[in-house]
Amino acid sequence: MKFVLAPDSFKESMTAKNAALAMKKGIKRVFSNAECVIVPMADGGEGTVESLVSILNGEIIETEVIGPLGKKVLAEYGLLGEGQTAVIEMASASGLELIKLEDRNPLVTTTYGTGQLIKHALDRGVSRFLIGIGGSATNDGGIGMLQALGVSFKDRNGNELPFGGGALDQLDLIDMGGLDERIKSARFDVACDVINPLIGKNGASAIFGPQKGASSEMVNILDRNLSHFAEIIKTQLDLDIAHIEGAGAAGGLGAGLMAFLNAQLKKGIDLVIEYTGLEDKIKGADYVFTGEGSIDGQTLFGKTPYGVATIAKKHSVPVIAFAGRIGNGVEPLYNNGFNAIIGILKEVTSLEKALESGEENLAFATENICRVLKV
C-alpha cells in the first residue's frame, strides 16, 4: 500500500516533518511493507522554509541583516537542493517577533533586511524565489527591501528617505537606476493569503497597523503615507497598485514586490503544493494522511489540510486528516475531499501534556486508523 503523508506542523508540538514521521511509525505497526511518501507541508507562513528544505534536500543559510528597528539580527532562508531556488520568510529578517511589545512602531520599522536576504541569495546564484510575507513588523510599502536591492527613494531635496512608513510622505522621486540587474531575470512567487488592498479602511495600515504598535493617529498617518507612495508609483512608473488584492499584505510589502520585482502573489498552500510536487506524489496512492494542530470551519479557507485534500480529491484518493483539536464547522469538509477527521488525544489532559505527547498520540491514532483499514 502507498500512503502519502502530508501534514502541516502541529504548532508548539510537532514540526510538519516530525508529524509525518509519527504517522509513518503508526502505519508501519500495521502495514510493515507499506510505502510511505513523506511530504511535510506548510501554508506559506511559519515553517515553510523548514518544510521545503526538508523535502527538497536543501540547506538553511544564515546571514546577518538589518532588522526591523535598524539593528543587526541573524536571519535565515532556505536554499533548495538544486541551488537555484530560495525560500524566504520575511519574518526572519523583518518580523514582529523580533521586536519587544513596547518597542513596536511601524512609523520606523523597515523591510531592509528582507531585501538583504534576497541579495544574499542572488549572490549564491539563485534565480527563483518563494517569499512568505506573514508576520511582518513593517508598514513601509517594501521600500526598505527595495533600498537594499538598489532602488533609491528621494525627497524633494534629493536625500534618501530614512527607514519606515512614517517617511513615505516625503517621497518625491523613485530612481530605479541602481536596481540589481539580476532581478530582471529572476522569478518571484509570493505566498500571500490576504486580499487587503494597500490603502483605505481595509488596507495595510487600518487592518494590520494596530498589531504592529500603531495608534489610531498613527494608522491615519501610515495610510495617508501609503496613499502618497501609491500616487508617486502611478505617476512615475505608470502602475496603479493602491487597490490590488494583496497589495496591503505585510504593510504594503505585497505592493512593493508586485510593482518593482514583478512578483506573483498566490495562496501559500498552492505554492507549497507546486514546489513540493505533491500532486505527482499523490497519483497512484491508496491513502493520503494530512493534518495540523487544529481543524475547524476555517480550514476550508486555504489551510494546509484543505489544499492537500483538494489535490487528493482530484485523483480520487481518500484523505484522512488528524488534529489535536477539532472545532466547530467541519461538516463542509466532508464534501471537499475529506473522508474522515480524527482527533489524536487519548484522554482529557492539560494543554501542556497534550503538546508534549503530540508525536506519541499521532502515531497511536494513525495506527488505529490503519487497523480499521486492514479489516
Between CA 17 and CA 50 the distance in angstroms is: 9
Least confident window among 5-9, 51-55, 320-324, 331-335: 51-55
Confidence of residue 353 (pLDDT cuts 50, 70, 90): confident
CA torsion 205-209-210-215 (nearest 10°) is: -70
Rounded mean pLDDT, 269-281: 94
Closest CA to 116 of 92, 138, 97: 92
Give pLDDT, residue 194: 86
Please give the share of the chain, as a percent, with pLDDT higher than 70.
100
Between CA 190 and CA 269 the distance in angstroms is: 11
pLDDT, mean over the chain = 95
Residue with the three cell numbers 536591492:
149
Rounded mean pLDDT, 293-316: 93
Between CA 321 and CA 24 the distance in angstroms is: 14
Residue 12 DSSP SS3: coil
Tell me the residue type at 227: S
Rounded mean pLDDT, 246-251: 94
Give pLDDT, residue 159: 97
Pairing, β 59-66 against β 72-79: antiparallel
Residues 6+ apart with CB under 8 A from 253: 90, 111, 114, 133, 136, 138, 140, 141, 142, 145
Give pLDDT, residue 354: 83
Measured from the Cβ of residue 340, the count of other Cβ atoms closer than 10 Å reads: 13
DSSP 8-state symbol, 58: -
Q: Does domain 2-39+284-374 bear CATH number 3.90.1150.10? A: no
Tell me the residue type at 173: L
- Main-chain phi, psi angles of 25, to 5 degrees: -60, -45
Say yes or no to pLDDT of 318 above 90: yes
Long-range contacts of 327-332 (CB under 8 A, 24+ apart): 327/294, 327/295, 327/296, 327/297, 327/298, 328/296, 328/297, 329/296, 329/297, 329/298, 330/295, 330/296, 330/297, 330/299, 332/297, 332/300
- Main-chain phi, psi angles of 81, to 5 degrees: -45, -45
Domain residues of the chain, as ranges? 2-39+284-374, 48-268
Between CA 267 and CA 140 the distance in angstroms is: 22
Residue with the three cell numbers 485534500:
309
Q: Please check whether residue 83 is in contact with residue 57, taking contact to mean a CB–CB distance below 8 angstroms.
A: no
Q: Report pLDDT digits (tens) over 185-232.
A: 999 999 988 899 999 999 999 999 999 999 999 999 999 999 999 999
Closest CA to 335 of 370, 309, 366: 309
Residue 266 DSSP SS3: strand
Give pLDDT, residue 328: 94
- Main-chain phi, psi angles of 168, to 5 degrees: -65, -20
- Angle 294-296-300 from CA coordinates, rounded to 5°: 115
Say yes or no to pLDDT of 184 above 90: yes
Q: Report pLDDT digits (tens) over 78-103.
A: 999 889 999 999 999 999 999 999 99
Q: Which residues pair with 287 in a beta bridge?
A: 3
- Angle 112-115-116 from CA coordinates, rounded to 5°: 90
Residue 334, all three cell numbers = 466532508
Tell me the residue type at 186: A
Q: Report pLDDT digits (tens) over 59-85.
A: 999 999 999 999 999 999 999 988 999
Between CA 158 and CA 160 the distance in angstroms is: 7
Q: Report pLDDT digits (tens) over 147-166.
A: 999 999 999 999 999 999 99
CATH H-level superfamily of 48-268: Glycerate kinase, domain 2 (3.90.1510.10)
